[in-house]
Amino acid sequence: MITGVATVRELFWAAHTGLPRESPGSTATTRLLLGLAGALPPRPRIVDIGCGAGPATVLLARETGGEVTAVDTHEPFLARLRAAAESAGLGGRVHALAASMDDLPLPDGAADLLWAEGSAYVMGFDAALRAWRRLLAPGGVLVLTEAEWTTIDPAPGARAFWDAGYPAMRTTGGNVTAAQDAGWTVAATYLLPDPDWDAYYSPLAARIAELRATHPGHDDALDEVGAEIAVRRAHGDDYGYTGYVLRPRS
């Protein structure tokens, strides 16, 4: 609960706690990317990196019949994930792990499928591909989504916003080349549709509106919390999220 003068960080967590997801995406997109990943072992070992509260985790466990290790650093997200897995009858096959994605305490070859929706940017695309490769078993596949420019000449407002938080952002062509140069085969790419952004931003916008009503005097801080929504509304044609299906070349 927020009392008195709230910091931007406090308002950020108040706005994000309990949201259905923490990045653009949807059940339909998760299923599509899972299909593009191709055939998996009968009981695949899956690692969901940066799982948040687990919107993909439970689906992956249910639809593959596999064991999922779901990794995040935010314990409240992991608590929600555990509850969701238990409610779905999958508590025995979903294992929450509090760990940093850039130092995963997992052995080499631990995964048949690595999954990272909306999280690789925390490390950066190139660093994630380097750090996570060792985790894949022979024949394994990495599926991730990545923020990208959809134009070579983005508007100054879009450029200023993303350069402040993710200056290494590229176009799809740039990331495909980088992945290939790093020894990966790009099996598929998929630009997430606009409704996948709405699935993230509509609940977040509604929560920010609630906080404006219940915490008057914090409009500037809440504007900062919701800045990404305003940028998307103004410049959504200039950038997007792209799903990647990647396999390491031997």
User: In the chain, what are the domain boundaries?
Assistant: 8-248
Q: Quick one: tokens of 7?
A: 């910091």
Q: Check if the beta carbon of residue 243 is closer than 8 Å to that of residue 145.
A: yes
d(CA 223, CA 227): 6
221 — pLDDT class (breaks 50, 70, 90): very high
pLDDT in tens, 174-198: 999 999 999 999 999 999 999 999 9
d(CA 128, CA 46): 16
Q: Check if the beta carbon of residue 152 is closer than 8 Å to that of residue 226.
A: no
Q: What is the mean pLDDT of residues 52-66?
A: 96
Q: What is the mean pLDDT of residues 3-19?
A: 83
pLDDT of residue 5: 53
Q: What is the mean pLDDT of residues 110-131?
A: 97
Q: Which fold has domain 8-248?
A: Rossmann fold (3.40.50)
pTM for the model? 0.94
Q: What b/e readout covers 227-244, taking b as 16+ CB neighbours within 10 angstroms? A: eebebbeebeebbbbbbb
